[in-house]
Amino acid sequence: MTHESDTLAAPSRRRFLATSTALAGGLVIACFVPLGSRKLFAQEGAAPAPAPMDPNAFVRIASDNSVTVLLKHSEMGQGVWTSIPMVLAEELDCDWDRVRVLNAPNAAVYSNLAFGIQGTGGSTSTLECFDQMRMAGATARAMLIEAAARQWQVEAGNCRTERGFVICGDKKASYGDLADAAAALKAPANVRLKDPSKWTLIGKPTPRLDSLAKVNGTAGFGIDVARPGLLVAVLARAPVFGGKVKRLDASRTRAVAGVVDVVQIPRGVAVLARHTWAAKQGREALEIEWDNGAGASLSTVAMRKDYRKLAQKPGLIAREAGNIEAALKSSRKRVEAVYEVPFLAHAPMEPLNCTVEISEAGCEIWTGTQFQGVDQGVVAQILGITPEQVKIHTQFLGGGFGRRANPVSDFIAEAVQVAKAANKPVKLVWMREDDIRGGYYRPMWVSRLAAALGKDGMPSAWTHTVVGQSIAAGTPFAPMMIKDGIDATSIEGAADSPYLAAIPAVRIDLHSPESPIPVLWWRSVGHSHTGFVVESFVDELAHAAKTDPLAYRRQLLPAGSRNLKALELAAREFGWGKPLAEGHAAGMAVHESFGSHVAQVAEVSVEDGRIRVHRVVCAVDCGPVVNPMTVEAQMQSAIAFGLSAALHSEITFKDGKVEQSNFHDYKVLKFDEMPKVEVHVVNSSEKMGGVGEPGLPPIAPAVANAIFALTGKRLRTLPLSMA
Amino acid sequence: MKLDINGRQHEVDVPDDMPLLWVLRDVIGLTGTKFGCGMAQCGACTVHVDGQAIRSCVTPASSLAGKKIATIESLGIDGSHPVQRAWIEEDVVQCGYCQSGQIMSAVALLAVKPKPDDADIDAAMAGNICRCGTYQRIRSAVHRAAELSRENGNDA
């Protein structure tokens, strides 16, 4: 770990250091990281390679008894800045009020154990490092006890700890006083973890540790980074994906006051200036003739037609049981439907940005990223240096939602290319228009489903053809995520739907058409469409069978299943079946993703043709809970994010160009549209799941199903529209 | 041009059309005010001019001579302002990026409506987007801030 001092010296951290003491000294816990052979993703063939057994530092104890946790994950709103230190602090038995958090540097020891590289995503954070953080805390505690025992010449076994002190009889020493001695000890190979019944912090509603910095304006986001001599750059990208500069005249740009340089990189023309405004003005003054290439004729209207046509025939088989054609043909009642969802931008509130300084020693990056482990390799390749020469100073992320986990590190690569071409330190900033028009998008998807219903109204056959671009194709992730031509993320939530277990004839198949449009995981990834499609279609079947949607799901879902328990809880808390206000109706959905099971019941009305969502009752079974406040916040957050997509957002292309540009035409959920969300957590000792994403998939179908209950109109296209 | 920001006079040499946002962030170094859209669509850049909430991303700094500009930094670093306290107590923030703007909109609301109802809050906060979906907690926090302000003798 050679980067720590650099990270600690980063400008955004200075304020903190000024109020702390002796952070550089004291105890640096070295501990062995046990690596399980977890397999969090179905598409993951092998367990991640074990990280090197470097000594690593997750916790520091200063002489003033303050505890600093080095966070390997990126805080993007999901609450890891609080929940992960809670896990470590539980075992360390320190004073929670003295816990501070710093972003860890980039290094192999900080790898996400589910990914094998450093990164935050897939709703993995808390669950992938839960044991690791407990071990780190317990190891530190054992070393502090050992230091005290040696000092007092007593048995370690006779010592106990309490809120940052080691105690033995009438002897008492603070962790801070013991830190130096403990640091000189060898870390024990085995430490005993607390019995869960003794937990006092894990499971306790705990306020966020990053609140103050985020209400007084001091939280350091990537876009706020200031460095001596740093120039701001904005990039003119081709209006059509795949386009290239044919002719460039930058003379008017160079005349703009504040503009310092203009450089060309593969994706376009960068204007470097003393401040953002000049860079933006300079970009507007560029005269560029683009060669738009093959993408210039692309339109989503035509693509949708092609997708619908493709959906009429089977694609590559992802799952098959029984004879689906025969079962559909011989059925007495058949239900068919086509669902469509559009391309979506992530549109995090903080536009993408990246600060780069290149020196003889290597390259330093300041940015909000979800993918340090990928980024350092991309940067190294661009500059012809080693990944170890790339130092990433992770900042707070002003939203991520998947956009800041890019397999080719697009926004970081661009910034490095600009800094290299200009030979100057640069902060590349995306304008909102760049964010909406510059990629990467949640893929557009079309789904065709057909089911046969038996005499009892239950499905005897179910087929689902999915059409949409592969996210992994063409990226370094392809070998891991694509098996036999099937990108697992395209059909997750469809091919593994729990409804299918009881159905004798099943076929799930996939078409993965290609296009120049860059696509990416977007909060809940494939589930963001399959949740909508499957839960809407089940609702259609329930109505075709003239059965209450809750009763129908009770029959279809395995008794005692986590989905069903969550659904029952949400229905009960909502008051399913009880009369609602005049003009209101309710719909439900339940979906498993990222190891968690979430059910939602939504109450809606239609006012002047506009869908209003008044109330959402959400029940979640995510297994053991670290911070109930985080779980509640993430459910509320995913519902709001999902409602943006359910009600408003859509990226469309015409003549190869994105038609939207900013929040006036790429609409997202506004303040007065936020429903009252009530979150209920299932008391569960099942396997721990994630919470960042699983709250999203059920909201669109819950709303669409409620609209059907209210109006009899089945809305099968997102964003939902009564028109 | 001369600007009065958070009670301090700043002399800046910038183009006449440069929005206040970039003067604050890139010239003076007050980065608590955020850039989100550049066209008054998201509210991340909200500051006060003579007590009124405005979008600094579309307001030329040159139009503000002689006016009092207040940014998130004016509320203080210790989080003791009633609106900041309410935000902390309600555990509002997630990514936090939009919250400077949300808070400045709320402070401006409470200055004219010390006891806002939900409709007042909806109207005042309508221009502030949060992609993390903290709206529900913001609503609770505005109500709480109103209570805290009354307890404090109305210093919001």
Sequential DSSP letters for A653-669: EETTEES--STTTS---
- A544 three-state secondary structure: helix
Contact at CB, B133 and A640, closer than 8 angstroms: yes
The answer to whether residues B38 and B20 touch, using CB atoms and an 8 Å cutoff, is: no
- pLDDT of res. A293: 92
- B8 three-state secondary structure: strand
Contact at CB, B97 and A208, closer than 8 angstroms: no
- Banded pLDDT at B154 (limits 50, 70, 90): low
Distance between terminal CA atoms of chain B? 30
**Closest residue in A to B129 (Cα–Cα):** A670
- pLDDT of res. A187: 86
The answer to whether residues A621 and A686 touch, using CB atoms and an 8 Å cutoff, is: yes
pLDDT digits (tens, 9 = 90+) for A326-346: 999 988 899 999 999 999 999
Query: Is the pLDDT reported for residue A43 higher than 60?
Result: no
Partner residue opposite B135 with nearest CB, options A75, A396, A640: A640
Distance between terminal CA atoms of chain A? 59
Contact at CB, A636 and B137, closer than 8 angstroms: yes
Tell me which chain B residues have a C-beta less than 8 angstroms from the C-beta of A215: 75, 79, 84, 87-88, 92-93, 99, 103
Residue type, A272: L
Q: Report the alpha-carbon distance of residue A574 to residue A581 in Å, rounded.
A: 13
Percentage with pLDDT > 70 across chain B: 98
CA dihedral A217, A222, A225, A227 (to 10 degrees): 170
- Banded pLDDT at A504 (limits 50, 70, 90): very high
Q: Phi, psi (5° rounding) for residue A57?
A: -120, 105
Q: Taking Cα atoms as reference points, which of A76, A395, A82 lies closest to residue A220?
A: A395
Q: Report the alpha-carbon distance of residue A8 to residue A4 in Å, rounded.
A: 6
Assess whether the previous peptide bond of A188 is cis (omega < 30° from 0): no
Contact at CB, B97 and A398, closer than 8 angstroms: yes
Contacts of A335 (CB under 8 A, 6+ apart): A449, A450, A451, A453, A537, A540, A541, A544
Contact at CB, A277 and B35, closer than 8 angstroms: no
How far A477 CA lies from chain B's nearest CA (Å)?
27
Contact at CB, B131 and A347, closer than 8 angstroms: yes
**Closest residue in B to A226 (Cα–Cα):** B29
Assess whether the previous peptide bond of A440 is cis (omega < 30° from 0): yes
- pLDDT of res. A44: 32
- pLDDT of res. A277: 98
Contact at CB, A349 and B44, closer than 8 angstroms: yes
**Residue to test with chain A: of B16, B30, B37, B148, most A Cβ within 10 A:** B37
**Residue to test with chain A: of B47, B94, B102, most A Cβ within 10 A:** B94
Q: How many CB pairs under 8 A join A and B?
A: 194
Within A123-217, residue ranges assigned H as helices are: 125-152, 175-183, 211-215
Query: Is the pLDDT reported for residue A7 higher than 50?
Result: no
Tell me which chain A residues have a C-beta less than 8 angstroms from the C-beta of B131: 347-349, 399, 401, 640-641, 644, 668
Crossing angle (nearest 10°) for helices B82-89 and B99-112: 120
Contacts of A206 (CB under 8 A, 6+ apart): A82, A83, A86, A96, A627, A629
Q: Report the alpha-carbon distance of residue A504 to residue A461 in Å, rounded.
A: 6
DSSP tag of A680: E
Tell me how crowded residue A476 is: count the other CB atoms within 10 A of its CB. Answer: 12
CA A693 vs. chain centroid, Å, equals 7
Does residue B15 belong to the interface with chain A, where contact is any CB pair within 8 Å? yes
- Banded pLDDT at A22 (limits 50, 70, 90): very low
Mean residue pLDDT of chain A comes to 91
Percentage with pLDDT > 90 across chain A: 87
Contact at CB, A214 and B138, closer than 8 angstroms: no
Partner residue opposite A216 with nearest CB, options B75, B136, B139: B75
**Closest residue in A to B29 (Cα–Cα):** A226
Mean residue pLDDT of chain B comes to 96
Q: Which two tokens stand for residue A312?
A: 């009429």
Residue A411 to residues A13, A267, A274, A414, A637: CA-CA distances in angstroms? 24, 11, 20, 5, 25
Q: Taking Cα atoms as reference points, which of A679, A689, A708, A682 lies closest to residue A588?
A: A708
**Closest residue in B to A351 (Cα–Cα):** B36
Q: Taking Cα atoms as reference points, which of B81, B48, B75 lies closest to residue B152?
A: B81
Query: Is the pLDDT reported for residue B34 higher than 50?
Result: yes
Query: A9: exposed, middle or buried (C-beta count within 10 Å: 0-12, 13-18, 19+)?
Result: exposed
How far A220 CA lies from chain B's nearest CA (Å)?
9
How far A684 CA lies from chain B's nearest CA (Å)?
24
For the entire predicted model, the pTM comes to 0.93
Number of Cα atoms under 13 Å in the Cβ half of residue A81: 27
Residue B133 gets the label, from left (phi > 0), alpha (psi -120 to 50) or beta, of left
- pLDDT of res. A150: 97
Weakest mean pLDDT among A30-39, A555-564, A567-576, B115-124: A30-39
Tell me how crowded residue A653 is: count the other CB atoms within 10 A of its CB. Answer: 24
**Closest residue in B to A399 (Cα–Cα):** B95
pLDDT digits (tens, 9 = 90+) for A396-450: 999 999 999 999 999 999 999 999 999 999 999 999 999 999 999 999 999 999 9
Residue B35 to residues A269, A410, B47, B86, B109: CA-CA distances in angstroms? 22, 21, 12, 24, 21
Does residue B142 belong to the interface with chain A, where contact is any CB pair within 8 Å? no
Beta strands per DSSP E along chain B? 2-5, 8-11, 46-49, 52-55, 68-70
**Closest residue in B to A397 (Cα–Cα):** B95
Contact at CB, A224 and B122, closer than 8 angstroms: no
Tell me which chain A residues have a C-beta less than 8 angstroms from the C-beta of B41: 432, 662-664
pLDDT digits (tens, 9 = 90+) for A553-584: 999 999 999 999 999 999 999 999 999 999 99
The answer to whether residues A562 and A597 touch, using CB atoms and an 8 Å cutoff, is: yes
Contacts of A377 (CB under 8 A, 6+ apart): A387
How far B34 CA lies from chain A's nearest CA (Å)?
8
The answer to whether residues B68 and B22 touch, using CB atoms and an 8 Å cutoff, is: no
What is the average pLDDT across A118-135?
A: 92
Residue A681 to residues A324, A429, A643: CA-CA distances in angstroms? 38, 40, 21
How far B66 CA lies from chain A's nearest CA (Å)?
23
Q: Report the alpha-carbon distance of residue A282 to residue A310 in Å, rounded.
A: 45
pLDDT digits (tens, 9 = 90+) for A154-205: 999 999 999 999 999 999 999 999 998 998 888 888 888 999 999 999 999 9
- pLDDT of res. A189: 83
Does residue B120 belong to the interface with chain A, where contact is any CB pair within 8 Å? no
How far A350 CA lies from chain B's nearest CA (Å)?
6
Q: Which two tokens stand for residue A587?
A: 């719909």
pLDDT digits (tens, 9 = 90+) for B84-99: 999 999 999 999 999 9
Q: Phi, psi (5° rounding) for residue A28?
A: -110, 115
The answer to whether residues A28 and A60 touch, using CB atoms and an 8 Å cutoff, is: yes
Does residue B42 belong to the interface with chain A, where contact is any CB pair within 8 Å? yes
Query: Is the pLDDT reported for residue A56 higher than 70?
Result: no
